[in-house]
Structure 1
Amino acid sequence: MSSDLVPPTYPKVPTWRRSAALGTDLFIVWLLSSLLAYNGLLRFFVFILFWLTLRVFLVAKNQGQSLGRWAFDHKVIDPRYNKTPGLLELSRREGVMGICVYLATLGLSGLVSGNAGILLFWIPISVDCGLALFDTSRNPQTFHDRFGRTFVIGTQRGYSLDIKIRNWVDKMKKDMK
């Protein structure tokens, strides 16, 4: 049996780190789109424009890392070539994810106005990301990972924000004793 038939193993990224990176990117895009467009269709287009800029064009130029992925030490790769995915793969992947997270933000804003039925907007992102929770492979994939034919893997290149926060908390606990 040839060694090139055995799929490589990649460093696994915990789900909470992927979620934290997504939340970081979402916060940046949401803040910028909120400042430029208050409501309606214009806000959707501004949101998607910023989302694609941060999660497609920046990732393509930054070795597979958005700001959130850089902060939490992981990146997106194309497993067929073991390198940063092309613009087409990233656009497919982040087009799906961008719509899901935009709908989720609408769901959150609906809670503020007292409309609990708007929580239905959380179903797409729950289904998309929920696939990774039930994927038993070494590198679990969400729907947008599968659709874009990408993997998210751990990397040494990044800010290690989670480690820095844990060290700060440990130091504060120690100082309080």
Structure 2
Amino acid sequence: MYDDDQRRDRRLPLAPLERRGYGYLLDFVVIWLFSSLATGWVQLLIFLVGWFALRVVLVSANQGQSLGGWAFDTRVVHLKMKRLPGILELSQREGILGAASYLAMVGLNINFANGVSFLLLVAPLFGDLIWAIAEDGLGQAFHDRVAGTVVLSSRRGFSLDLRLKKFWFDLKKQWDNRQRRR
């Protein structure tokens, strides 16, 4: 039974890990910028509200895509139901990831002033990443495993990574052409 479920799930168009990472990073940076305008408890409150709004409310209203998911063509799907996760699943998923992200944000704010604290605060986020890398088959991170979700590629989005690659290739091509003319 387990082998059949795993074989069936391998046909899903799983999103590559780098696209998932870029999408997460875009969401994280946007929320970090807004929450860095304040300090202390207000910063925590802004981070929590922003994270919930961007990663739960927007995802449930936008066919499983957050801002980063839309920019990099990924979407979140409930693994067993093969549909958009409910608010409870999204809240579980993003509660775990949001807590790890907030700790990482605090660690990045103190930077390397206290190296041990920095490493301890960033460790939960890296642990989640390592879980996704070590997971065979579906590439689920810890927060995905708990919520029963998986991140899939989507045809609906901006394809920011592909556009940047194309821009870089065109820029490099123009540079090479100019170098040849000299």
TM-score (norm 1): 0.91
Please give the alpha-carbon distance, in whole angstroms, between the structure 1 residues aligned to 2:51 and 2:33: 11
Q: Which amino acid in structure 2 is aligned with residue 48 of structure 1?
A: L
Give the match for residue 132 of structure 1.
Answer: 132
User: How many pairs are equivalent?
Assistant: 171
Give the match for residue 141 of structure 1.
Answer: 140
Q: 1:5-44, aligned counterparts within 5 Å?
A: 7-8=8-9, 9-35=11-37, 37=38, 39-44=39-44
Give the match for residue 54 of structure 1.
Answer: 54
Please give the alpha-carbon distance, in whole angstroms, between the structure 1 residues aligned to 2:110 and 2:151: 31
Give the match for residue 166 of structure 2.
Answer: 167
For the residue of structure 2 that corresponds to 1:7, the secondary structure is helix
Q: Which amino acid in structure 2 is aligned with residue 76 of structure 1?
A: V
For the residue of structure 1 that corresponds to 2:8, the secondary structure is coil
Q: What CA deviation, in whole Å up to 9, does each residue of 1:95-133 have, x standing for no partner?
A: 000010111111111126x22122210111111221111
Q: What CA deviation, in whole Å up to 9, does each residue of 1:68-112 have, x standing for no partner?
A: 011001100012221110000000000000010111111111126
Please give the alpha-carbon distance, in whole angstroms, between the structure 1 residues aligned to 2:95 and 2:165: 33
Q: Which amino acid in structure 2 is aligned with residue 150 of structure 1?
A: T
Q: 1:83-98, aligned counterparts within 5 Å?
A: 83-98=83-98
Give the match for residue 109 of structure 1.
Answer: 109
Give the match for residue 149 of structure 2.
Answer: 150
- Measured on the aligned residues, the alpha-carbon RMSD in Å equals 1.6
Please give the alpha-carbon distance, in whole angstroms, between the structure 2 residues aligned to 1:70 and 1:48: 21
Please give the alpha-carbon distance, in whole angstroms, between the structure 2 residues aligned to 1:88 and 1:161: 29
Give the match for residue 175 of structure 2.
Answer: 176
Please give the alpha-carbon distance, in whole angstroms, between the structure 1 residues aligned to 2:14 and 2:29: 24
5+ long unaligned stretches in structure 2:
177-182
For the residue of structure 2 that corresponds to 1:27, the secondary structure is helix
Give the number of the structure whose alpha-carbon radius of gyration is greater. Answer: 2
5+ long unaligned stretches in structure 1:
none
Is the Cα–Cα contact under 8 Å of residues 106 and 118 in structure 1 kept in the other structure? no
Cα deviation for residue 7 of structure 1 reads 2.9
